[in-house]
Amino acid sequence: MLYQELTKTDNLITDKVNINWQEPLIIAGPCTFASYEELYEIASSLKKRGITFLRAGAYKMRTNPYNFQGLREAGMDILLRIKKELDMHIVTELTTIEQIKKYGHLIDIIQIGSRNMYNYELLKEAGKTNTPVLLKRAFSASYEEWLDAAEYILKEGNKNVLLCERGIRNNISNETRFVLDIQAIPYIQHNTPFKIIIDPSHASGNAYMVPSMAKASLKAGADGLLIETHITPEKSLCDSKQTIDLDTLDEIIKEIR
């Protein structure tokens, strides 16, 4: 496997985005957005807090086809405009080969969503770019399947893969959306050269659980956090229940710094 030949420093040191791994990377932003104004307001509030990685979805992988699917092309235009205006790094999910061809080189980190971790043709296309890829673990995937998915990207020449644990499915119905597999942190760090980013938002599905899960992940040594954040979470068009507000984000940032 190619990943076994990578060193820790090969991974994610690109001329595209230079990430300072001395402290945990915070990627934040709304699940999706409905307008330029909405996203600009959130992005500038994040920037004021020193967060330069803005994650927001233009192409949403919604379980229910009648739910808002994102602003799509218009959303990508907004993301690229805000990238320029606020000098921020854009992290966003791309869901088709065509989208990767069109936008892969224009954004800073391509997110591959949980539902697409097994989409091997999509992984190959992401592997043909030299843009870092945030590969979310499918909620049913073993560590081996997740690493095999990463290998698809590496095999095409892109070594810049970041792994994202976002909760796995158990067979007990309960309050939470998924279950955060915090053991993935030592597993990935001990056995692979990859950085591991924890997404406590999708894992728990509840905003009130996000700070403790974020702090627990930091204590366990996570390399970064991906947190759904909005100025007015209740107005968020998608995943509002798990989205935190800026005061809660400040609490998590305080823990890091």
What residue ranges bind ligand PEP (CB under 6 A)?
Answer: 31, 57, 61, 113-115, 136, 166, 202
For position 125 contacting Mn ion by CB under 5 A, the verdict is: no
Per-residue binding string, Mn ion, 41-80, x by CB under 5 A, is: ----------------------------------------
Residue 31 or 138 having the CB closest to Mn ion: 31
Residue 38 or 159 having the CB closest to Mn ion: 38
For position 239 contacting Mn ion by CB under 5 A, the verdict is: yes
Residue 136 or 195 having the CB closest to ligand PEP: 136
What's the rounded Cα separation, in Å, for the pair 58 and 94? 8
Per-residue binding string, Mn ion, 18-37, x by CB under 5 A, is: -------------x------
How far apart are CB 18 and ligand PEP at their closest, in Å? 24
CB-closest chain residue to ligand PEP: 113
**What does 215 bind: Mn ion, ligand PEP, none (CB cut-off 5 to 8 Å by kind)?**
none
Residue 48 or 75 having the CB closest to ligand PEP: 75
Q: Which residues contact 228 (CB under 8 A, 6 or more apart)?
A: 28, 29, 30, 31, 201, 202, 236, 239, 242, 243, 244
CB 165 within 8 A of CB 200: no
Interface segment toward Mn ion; rule CB under 5 A; list 13-21, 167-175, 231-239, 245-253 = 231-239
Burial code (b: 16+ CB inside 10 Å, e: under 16) for 120-132 equals: eebbbbbbebebb
Residue 1 or 61 having the CB closest to ligand PEP: 61
Residue 184, CA distances (Å) to 6, 43, 180 in order:
19, 30, 9
Residue 120, CA distances (Å) to 69, 141, 150 in order:
23, 14, 10
How far apart are CB 15 and ligand PEP at their closest, in Å? 26
> Which regions of the chain does DSSP assign to beta strands (E)?
25-29, 53-55, 89-93, 109-112, 133-136, 161-165, 195-198, 224-228
**What does 30 bind: ligand PEP, Mn ion, none (CB cut-off 5 to 8 Å by kind)?**
none
Interface segment toward Mn ion; rule CB under 5 A; list 3-11, 74-82, 179-187, 234-242 = 234-242
Q: Which residues contact 232 (CB under 8 A, 6 or more apart)?
A: 245
How far apart are CB 60 and Mn ion at their closest, in Å? 8
What's the rounded Cα separation, in Å, for the pair 39 and 45? 10
What's the rounded Cα separation, in Å, for the pair 70 and 56? 10
Residue 195 or 202 having the CB closest to ligand PEP: 202
Residue type, 78: I
Integer distance in angstroms from the first to the last C-alpha of the chain? 36
Binding residues vs Mn ion (CB under 5 A): 31, 239
